[in-house]
Structure 1
Amino acid sequence: MHSRLLKAKGFPPDGNQASCCLSSYFFALKSVQVSADQSETTLGSKLEALQCHFTWILEYSKNKLLHLRDKLVDIGTEEGNSWLGHIYNLRGFIQCKLGSTEDALSFFLQAAEAFGQMRRAGEGPWLVVNYGNLAWLHHLLGDQAESEAYLSKVEAIKKKYPTPSEDELHAELYAEKAWTLMNFGTKGELVSEYFQKAIQMQPDMVEWNTSHVLCSNSWLEDDILEKIRLAQEQDPENLRLAVYYLEERVRKGEIIEDEARQLARKVLRNPVSSYSGLKGLLRIYRNHLSIDEAVDLAEEALQHHPDERYLKRCAALYYNRLIYSSHSRPEQRTLDRAISLLKEVIFLYPHCSLMKKVDLANIHAKSNHSKDEAEQIYQELLKSEMEPAEKQLLYNNYAKYSKCDRREYQRAIRYHMKVATIPHQSSFRRNSIKILVEVVERHRDSMWREVEEFLENLKEP
């Protein structure tokens, strides 16, 4: 066998010389394998050392990624959006994690183009995260040469734009990391810290300062009004910031009704985006003007842009709040409009529609001519595969629906118990446990002793 192998490789087949050649061949083969393994290890360590979405600690599930993808789409890609490169970068990462590498590559390339347009320059620190993402993507696709090429680009940028110390990142990286973590719902302290570092290094970057202020915990900051005012001086055209300033002023006791209505005119003239300030403005209208005016504002926005899904989502939300804020039974036309909007929203946001389906079921339950559809929607949802947190949301709402709309009190209690047994801390679990405690304390329901025993044996997650 060895002779045949040697002959095939061009070695002489005779005696000691053949044996020596064979040993040399296998040694060389082993060396090549070791070299390849070392090369792979080196590439892996270089990739792990990158600052990009693939190496940052981002907590997510598939549902969270789908929800975040919708959120990014609703921000929009209007030209001039200062976060456009970051949006494309994050969308690329999300698509990769969802299994669509082709879309991921497209978004990463769009991110590079957007950064170039926004920074009015070629390669620079703003591309480090993007090139890192591309290095990872090509590595995952098996194209190690292209991955190495992007790693080299990252190294070249780092040499050209060094930071004061190896432990520090460039301002652009701090800003993108802060913005990304903010969108993943990371604790505000870390997000704020990264934004602050970026701003200290490059105080002229207006959008960083604006985002830092917008993500601040206003309840913990006594000087928040002054911070917002200074941010507004730097970024006077940012209506989202203007709305936030209005919200904080009214929280401090100022009268702002006329200003809110004037600001609404400006918001309605701007392109549709979840960054437009409309969401905050609707909140101001609901809390400090009236829920009816909030609904009217949402409808007016829809009249200007009837096909915008984000506006339909806003309108559906405030119709829902209008229905539940009324002490009397809502008019049928209000219920019909809410049902119509919710059906559209569920169609337009197919991956993030659980709460909307629950809302739809609950509104059907109040309608004169579609009560049966409520139970049908709930039964379909109860058969669906869901994560623990989603089950708690569903069971809690189904329990309340069973009690209030079906008068099936024991079924309601059973579903509150189901919520409590799911080992996941949430507001729905706390609410169901509170309701079960009330059942025991009031002694009105025949199940109260069973519930009491259940609560005594209930274990905390």
Structure 2
Amino acid sequence: DSHINHDTLERQLMQLECYFTWGLEKEAVDLEYLVQRLLDFIRVPTEKVRSFNFLAYAKYMQGCNEDALAYLKQAEDYAKKDHEDEFEKWVLVTYGNYAWLYYHMGDISKAQDFLSKIEDICKNIPSASCYSAPLSIVDGEKGWCYFRFARKYYKEAIVYFQKALAQEPDDPEWIKGYAMALYRTESFDIISMEESLALKQLKRAMELNPEDAHIVVLLGLKLIYLEQRDEGIKLLEKALTLAPDEPYVIRYVAKGLRNTGCEDESIKLLKRALEKMPNSAFMHHQIGLCYRNKIFKLQPLLRRPIIEMSIQHLEKACKLKHFFFNAQLELAKMYALSKDFQKAEELFQKTCEMQNTCEEDIAMKHRCYGDFLFKYKQSEVLAIKQYKAGLSCRKETQDKERCLQQLERIAKRCIGWYPKDGEAYGLLGLVHQHRKQEMLAVECFEKALLNDPGNEDYLSALCELTDDYTISQPSLTHQNKMLTNAVSINT
């Protein structure tokens, strides 16, 4: 009976909407750094309930169950204090976390008590099941959870913010979360002002809450990225006035200053923030990037001390945050600049092997490693392999385009040297194929086959192109001849 009850309890727990059922992977995040960031967010009034909930889950993952219980108690207290009118809705996620935590602690009786509380609440909510309810508050908290946990969950964050907004279209917190998640996912995209959903949502969020420095600073950065420099800088200044001591705001204002060529002002601002937050990986990362930018404004003989300053801050950032993908990639580039090629290669390989990176990172890491192999190791073959790997990114990002540009340059140079280079034509065909230039791709793969008859990769590419696209009859006839010739030669 006890075994049956245990199985029943687990099935009931799995129906809850809480941090324990949202599929978060411990390996995707640096837990110590996550805890530190959440402690920063607690200071923001609107963040208290979700931050304490999140802290409880993070502490559970660290094996600190008593700390987790204490944080859940604070989440419950603030739900009562700040959301008295909707307390039962706001506390659903917290009670779900309680139930799971007690279950993992072996206190089955208390786990069942919280399941009963959740069941009582759900009885009064239309369309609710026994243990979960279709509420914007739950979807919104789920969105914030995914957004804050790790970059690989940004797409899930967007989905749940959209669900929350479908129920409450004008809720400022869900609009803010949606805008911020869009901003992050668009940050690597090649995009115009007209196409930018993030820009539209950031403007809407600022209309609803013009004093929210987090939104103001991101809108300023987005405008600078979209080449609206003056308007963007004004918003950065406004954000800093609104929240002069807020780490999140300082970090992004500094980033905006760096992106507009004001590295010294950015460093000054970041170092002032570091006095209060000496263990901020993000601040050290941003300072490292400022020094990186300064390097290229100096004569080669004057660069060494600036390179060392950049390395010092980037190493500190990587030490403070173990899964800091961007900082690791920049540090590898700095090692290359300092001619420490062994350290550079080890770090490039480490970033390329990282599994828990988001889609945009695929093109970035392989493009950077490819550039290193091409420039510093003079290995065109290995560089090509990395650039090709970067093309597996499903999004059209700047780094993916740079992979294509590098492959195109290499192919055209090889053809210029030796017009019968089948491999170079195959490479050029691949570039045209990724750019949806089907006719040019077919021509290149035909030339590749002409010089390398029977090559299965080129045959496969041609078959794929003719299956997927309508090719003109003369080209198709010529291609059929090519395929027939290639097959006969090969056999």
The TM-score with structure 2 as length reference comes to: 0.66
Q: Hey, what does 1:152 align to over in structure 2?
A: 116
Following superposition, the deviation at residue 259 of structure 1 comes to 3.2
Deviations 1:426-454 (A, max 9, x none): 66677545533432222168996556568
Of 135, 138, 151 in structure 2, the residue corresponding to residue 170 of structure 1 is 135
Following superposition, the deviation at residue 52 of structure 1 comes to 1.4
SS of 1:420's equivalent? helix
Q: Hey, what does 2:411 align to over in structure 1?
A: 440
Distance, in Å, in 2 between the alignment partners of 1:358 and 1:55 is: 33
Deviations 1:311-360 (A, max 9, x none): 22322233334446x485463332222111112112111x2145433422
Following superposition, the deviation at residue 284 of structure 1 comes to 3.0
Q: Hey, what does 2:445 align to over in structure 1?
A: none
Is 2:244 the counterpart of 1:244?
A: no
Deviates more, 1:255-264 or 1:290-299: 255-264
Is 2:161 the counterpart of 1:192?
A: yes
Q: 1:52 to 1:143 in 2, by over 3 A?
A: same
SS of 1:120's equivalent? helix
Deviations 1:271-328 (A, max 9, x none): 43x3xx234323432344634443443334335654544322322233334446x485
Q: 1:303 to 1:145 in 2, by over 3 A?
A: closer
Rg: which structure is higher? 1
Q: Aligned partner of 2:112: which letter?
A: E
> What's the RMSD between the two structures over aligned residues?
4.1
Q: 1:438 to 1:209 in 2, by over 3 A?
A: closer
Distance, in Å, in 2 between the alignment partners of 1:207 and 1:383 is: 37
Is 2:31 the counterpart of 1:74?
A: no
Q: 1:79 to 1:323 in 2, by over 3 A?
A: same
Q: Hey, what does 2:75 align to over in structure 1?
A: 114
Q: Hey, what does 1:403 align to over in structure 2?
A: 374
Q: Aligned partner of 1:376: which letter?
A: K
Q: Aligned partner of 2:54: which letter?
A: L
Q: Hey, what does 1:49 align to over in structure 2?
A: 15
Distance, in Å, in 2 between the alignment partners of 1:420 and 1:220 is: 30
Q: 1:210, 1:231 within 8 Å by CA — same for their partners in 2?
A: no
Is 2:263 the counterpart of 1:263?
A: no
Distance, in Å, in 1 between the alignment partners of 2:286 and 2:204 is: 28
Q: 1:93, 1:104 within 8 Å by CA — same for their partners in 2?
A: no
Following superposition, the deviation at residue 43 of structure 1 comes to 1.5
Distance, in Å, in 2 between the alignment partners of 1:249 and 1:119 is: 39
Q: 2:216, 2:239 within 8 Å by CA — same for their partners in 1?
A: no
Following superposition, the deviation at residue 176 of structure 1 comes to 0.9
Distance, in Å, in 2 between the alignment partners of 1:396 and 1:223 is: 30
Is 2:385 the counterpart of 1:417?
A: yes
SS of 1:124's equivalent? helix
Q: Aligned partner of 2:244: which letter?
A: R
Following superposition, the deviation at residue 131 of structure 1 comes to 1.8
Q: 2:59, 2:65 within 8 Å by CA — same for their partners in 1?
A: yes
Following superposition, the deviation at residue 81 of structure 1 comes to 3.9
Distance, in Å, in 2 between the alignment partners of 1:344 and 1:120 is: 40
Q: 1:395, 1:416 within 8 Å by CA — same for their partners in 2?
A: no
Distance, in Å, in 2 between the alignment partners of 1:328 and 1:420 is: 34
Distance, in Å, in 1 between the alignment partners of 2:222 and 2:332 is: 35
Q: 2:103, 2:111 within 8 Å by CA — same for their partners in 1?
A: yes
Following superposition, the deviation at residue 73 of structure 1 comes to 2.8
Alignment of 1:47-446 (within 5 A): 47-56=13-22, 58=23, 61-66=25-30, 70-71=33-34, 73-75=36-38, 76-94=40-58, 96=60, 100=62, 102-103=63-64, 106-107=67-68, 109-117=70-78, 119-120=80-81, 124-159=88-123, 162-166=124-128, 169-183=134-148, 184-187=153-156, 190-197=159-166, 199=168, 207-215=173-181, 219-220=196-197, 224=201, 227-233=204-210, 236=211, 238-247=212-221, 253=228, 255-256=230-231, 259-260=234-235, 262-263=237-238, 265-266=240-241, 269-272=244-247, 274=248, 277-288=249-260, 290-303=262-275, 305-323=277-295, 326=297, 329=300, 331-349=303-321, 351-367=322-338, 371=339, 373-379=340-346, 382=349, 386-387=353-354, 396-404=367-375, 406=376, 408-409=377-378, 411-418=379-386, 420=388, 424-425=392-393, 431-432=402-403, 434-443=405-414
Deviations 1:168-188 (A, max 9, x none): 523432321222233321256
Gaps of 5+ in 1: 1-34
Distance, in Å, in 1 between the alignment partners of 2:223 and 2:391 is: 40
Matched residue pairs, number?
400
Distance, in Å, in 2 between the alignment partners of 1:61 and 1:285 is: 35
SS of 1:47's equivalent? helix
Of 31, 39, 48 in structure 1, the residue corresponding to residue 5 of structure 2 is 39
Q: 1:52, 1:129 within 8 Å by CA — same for their partners in 2?
A: yes
Deviations 1:358-384 (A, max 9, x none): 4223223334xxx2x342342366479
Following superposition, the deviation at residue 36 of structure 1 comes to 3.6
Q: 2:161, 2:175 within 8 Å by CA — same for their partners in 1?
A: no
Following superposition, the deviation at residue 104 of structure 1 comes to 5.2
SS of 1:165's equivalent? coil
Q: 1:399, 1:413 within 8 Å by CA — same for their partners in 2?
A: no
